[in-house]
Every structure is written in C-alpha cells, then in structure tokens.
Chains A and B, each alone.
Chain A
Amino acid sequence: MINPIQHWRLTKNRYQLEGTQCMSCSKIYYPNMFLCTCGSRDFSPKKLIGKGKIVSFTEVFTSSRAFENMVPYCLALIELEQGPIILTQMADVHIQELFIGQPVRAVFRRYCTDGPDGLIYYGIKFVPDFINY
C-alpha cells in the first residue's frame, strides 16, 4: 500500500532523484544510506543527474491494483552516470525498443493514484535519451 505521508517523506528522492553522498569517501547512494561501506555515518543530500544506461529491463503484464490498468509497462534497472543503480519504469517506449546498455534520461511522470479521490503519486521514469535536439 502506498500512502501519502510516506510519499511526502520521500518527495525529494522520488521527484528530484535526490540521493545521498558519503562525506568521507564521496560514494553516492540512492535513495539514502545510514552506514557507508567505508564506515562513515556522515552523509549529505545529493541531487542526481538523470542520465544513465540500462542494466536490465522487463515488461510487466500482471500487477497490483495500483498499476493493473496500465499493463503492460516496462521496468528497468538503470546505472546512473554518478554510480548508483536505480529501479524505475520506462515511459513512452515498447519493450522491443529497449536494449542492455541503452542511454536513457529521466522524465517526471505520474506513477499511480490512490483511486479517483486519493492522492496522485508522481515520480521519475526514464526514456531513451534524445539522440540530438
């Protein structure tokens, strides 16, 4: 169950792709971390650049109630330029267009709602990167 207050807490992570960076060794995590692999507990928020490459992908045909009206949709594991790997939905794309290693970029989209009178949950999805402008 997705809930509005949980979503509010995670707004910066979900809307702005904000992760966290270790103040000792500069390693970047998404969405957050308590204890770095280097041993430090000092972190600072770090807004991530929404560009990366596809590590793996799939297309989902059966889902939870929140998403069952939107199947099929594509999911991908994406390695961001700055290091962390994130799990996200791919937008505006059919699975046939995807490939491992594909450059992708972030877009702001709607994920789901809490029904017709509930909150709307926005977030970041990814699309194949523009080849040129």
Chain B
Amino acid sequence: MTVGIIGYGAYIPKYRLKAEEIAQAWSQDYAKIMASLGVHEKAVALYDEDSITIAVQATQHALARANVALDLLGALYMGSESHPYAVKPSATIVGTALGCSRNYLAADMEFACKGATAALQAAYGLIASNMVSYALAIGADVAQAAPGDMLEYSAAAGGAAFILGNQQDQILAVIEKTLSISSDTPDFWRRSLQQYPEHLGRFTGEPAYFAHIYQATEKILSENSLRAQDFDFVVFHQPNGKFPVQAAKKLGFSSNQIEPGLLCPYIGNSYSATALLGLTAVLDQAEPNQKILLISYGSGSGSDAFIITTTNLLKKRQDVTRTTRAYVNHKEYVSYLRYRQMYASREGGKP
C-alpha cells in the first residue's frame, strides 16, 4: 500500500527575538555567537500561545490542503517536548479544538526534537496496517532555555502538521521509506520537575547530533541504493544554523539541496517542529516527482530518516493556504525583557 501526505501545514508565531538583543542583555560577543550558531533571530510565543495552540493552527492549514472531512481522522499523534501538561494529553485538546468527535485514537509523543517524526512513523504504520484510513501527526513546541544559557539563542516556537492517507488521488507526497536509529546518549535532557533543560556543550555535536544523523542517512541511502545526488532536497534537524550545513557538506549534499528547507537562521529551533517546518517549506515550493530526504534528530538520542517523493497533485495545494515562507516573513520584534516577562505570564498567572 502507498502511504503519503495528503495535507500539510505550518505555523510560526509572529514574534521574533534577535540574537543581537540577547547578546546585549547578557553582555556577550554578538559576532562570536553568530559565527558559532548562525541564528539571526528566533520565533517566540508570548503569553497566549503554547504547543497546543500552535498545533491547532498548523493543523487547520493541513486540513485546508488535505480537503478531507474531519470525522475520517482515525488517529492523532502530537510530538513535543513542551506539552503544556505533564499528564493530560495535548492530542485530545487539539482534537477537540479542531472539532473531532470522540471516535479517534490519540496519544502524545516525546523524543526531544524528534517526537513529531516518531508521530509520523506511528501514523504511517496505522495506515499501512489498515487500522485507520487517515491519521494526523503534529510537531509543535514552545522551547524553553534557561536565562543566559547559549540555548536561548536558538530555542524557539513553531509547529507543523501532516495528514496521512492511502488514497492515490489525494496523496501530495509519498512516504517511500522510513527507518530509525536509537540510542541512550546524554547530550541534552530535562528532568520532569525542572523548567529548563541541561546539555553537555560540545558533546551535543559529534557523538550526538552528527553521529546519529550520519548513521541514519547512510543507512537509508545504502538500503535503498541511493546517493546524495539522487535527491532534490535534503532537510536535516536544525539545532542551529551551522550543524545542518556541516552535516550536508560531510554527506555530499549541495547548498541548493539544503537551502530551501533551512529556516533555523530566521526562526530558530522549534524542537519537534524544526525538521518538519523544513519539510513544509520544501513542499511549498517543490515540483512534481521530486525526491526529498528528511533526517530528524532527537537528543537522548535518535534519528528518523524518510524518503519522500512529491506527486502531480502537490502543485495545486501549495497556495491553498498560508505558506511557511509567509509565516517566516510575518513578524514583529520584541525586546528580551518582554520575552522573559511573557514566558513568566504564560506559566505563572493566578486564578
């Protein structure tokens, strides 16, 4: 059976915090920061947005592109590392907000930055096994970083949603193959009662991000007898503006292949949504029958790889609703103080 994407949507909050602002707040060397991270500005949520609201908005765009009735959705998975509740599923709040009846399977996923590609794989599996006909996989995050931590420059907010199905006359992009690499790697984590994550600095690079990305990429390419040049687009997870470019170079991909899906320099790293927003940006501009390689990475660690091929139907659905680029460009800058104030408002509040 062919399983593919029948609808996709992106959502990025309007507000942006400049790296320059953060550097000024902490008296850090802006030039050095830019050289090592390559993130000019990042998207931030203020007090009335969280992973759930972002997920809903991204999904509404996915539904607009899919043109499928809501009551046909058999499953809803949401991947995030900032689920608003530690216990109470985001997925059902999203489902209710969208207008779903009670007849669906729902669950939250977490795997650092790759909870949503795990959601995609689970959705794929349910359809491929004929358990459901349509499934929704969402990645959304409002990423947290401790004040003064390097992570502040990249931890951002955003969401992407994908509706999967198996009807040939609806599929905009086929998910040809997918595989995963999983390990226990202490590069980045957050204990349950803590507000902010911990990370091991330089260890997050070579033994963590790069090792898993390389392994997943090499495995999916060799198992399918494909090479870097066979793809029109490659999208890697983007923890900053430098790592994915480095990975692309090492693996033999050109800048033409990676540029269209490289959004981190302007919207930051929205964790579970990052790689998927790269994918929505690519889908927004891809031509029919183009090949996309998607490699996500989640700390802790793991990497999910996907080979995706666009169909003739994609072109007609791209501009049906707001594109990823339109969201990247729709922005208003906020000060560092306001960003910190609003973070407190979202979590604090009194009855």
Direct A–B touching, Cβ under 8 Å:
yes
Chain A residues close to B by CB (< 8 Å): 1-2, 11, 15-16, 47, 65-66, 68-70, 89, 91-92, 107-116, 118, 120, 122, 125, 130, 133
CA distance A66 to B350 in the complex (A): 5
Contacts of B347 in A (CB 8 A): 116
Contacts of A65 in B (CB 8 A): 349-351
B52: contacting residue among A1, A69, A122, CB under 8 A = A122
CA distance A102 to B114 in the complex (A): 40
Contacts of A122 in B (CB 8 A): 52-53, 93, 97
Contacts of B85 in A (CB 8 A): 120
A11: contacting residue among B96, B322, B323, CB under 8 A = B96
Q: Which of B76-125 contact A (CB under 8 A)?
A: 84-85, 93, 96-99
Nearest 10 A-B pairs (CB), nearest first?
A: A69-B345, A108-B56, A65-B350, A109-B48, A15-B97, A110-B48, A113-B349, A114-B351, A92-B14, A16-B99
Please state if A120 and B84 are interface contacts (CB–CB under 8 Å): yes
Please state if A1 and B351 are interface contacts (CB–CB under 8 Å): yes
CB distance from A131 to the nearest CB of B (A): 10
18 contacts between A and B (CB under 8 A): A16-B99, A65-B350, A69-B47, A70-B47, A92-B15, A107-B53, A108-B57, A108-B97, A110-B48, A110-B49, A110-B52, A110-B53, A112-B349, A114-B351, A115-B349, A115-B350, A133-B321, A133-B326
Q: Which of B325-351 contact A (CB under 8 A)?
A: 326, 332, 344-351
CB distance from A112 to the nearest CB of B (A): 6
- With both beta carbons as reference points, the residue of chain B lying nearest to A130 in the complex is identified as B322
| A69 in contact with B349 given A91-B48, A111-B48, A122-B93 (CB within 8 Å) | yes
- With both beta carbons as reference points, the residue of chain A lying nearest to B322 in the complex is identified as A133
1/0 per residue B299-324: CB within 8 Å of A? 00000000000000000000111110
- With both beta carbons as reference points, the residue of chain A lying nearest to B52 in the complex is identified as A122
CA distance A107 to B320 in the complex (A): 18
Q: Does B41 contact A (CB under 8 A)?
A: no
| A107 in contact with B57 given A114-B351, A115-B350, A125-B48 (CB within 8 Å) | yes
Contacts of A1 in B (CB 8 A): 351
CB distance from A4 to the nearest CB of B (A): 11
Interface centre among B50, B52, B322, B351 (most CB of A within 10 A): B351
1/0 per residue B35-73: CB within 8 Å of A? 000000000000111101100110000000000000000
- With both beta carbons as reference points, the residue of chain B lying nearest to A11 in the complex is identified as B96
Contacts of B97 in A (CB 8 A): 15-16, 108, 122
| A110 in contact with B47 given A69-B345, A69-B349, A116-B347 (CB within 8 Å) | yes
- With both beta carbons as reference points, the residue of chain B lying nearest to A133 in the complex is identified as B322
Contacts of A11 in B (CB 8 A): 96
Q: Which of B249-304 contact A (CB under 8 A)?
A: none
Contacts of A47 in B (CB 8 A): 99
- With both beta carbons as reference points, the residue of chain B lying nearest to A69 in the complex is identified as B345
CB distance from B339 to the nearest CB of A (A): 14
CB distance from A74 to the nearest CB of B (A): 12
Contacts of B49 in A (CB 8 A): 109-110
CB distance from B283 to the nearest CB of A (A): 15
CA distance A122 to B323 in the complex (A): 25
Interface centre among A1, A107, A111 (most CB of B within 10 A): A107
Contacts of B52 in A (CB 8 A): 110, 120, 122
Known contacts A70-B48, A92-B332, A113-B349; 5 further A-B pairs (Cβ under 8 A): A66-B350, A69-B344, A110-B52, A115-B351, A122-B97
- With both beta carbons as reference points, the residue of chain B lying nearest to A118 in the complex is identified as B351
- With both beta carbons as reference points, the residue of chain B lying nearest to A114 in the complex is identified as B351
Contacts of B47 in A (CB 8 A): 69-70, 110
CB distance from B147 to the nearest CB of A (A): 18
CB distance from A55 to the nearest CB of B (A): 22
Q: Which of B211-260 contact A (CB under 8 A)?
A: none
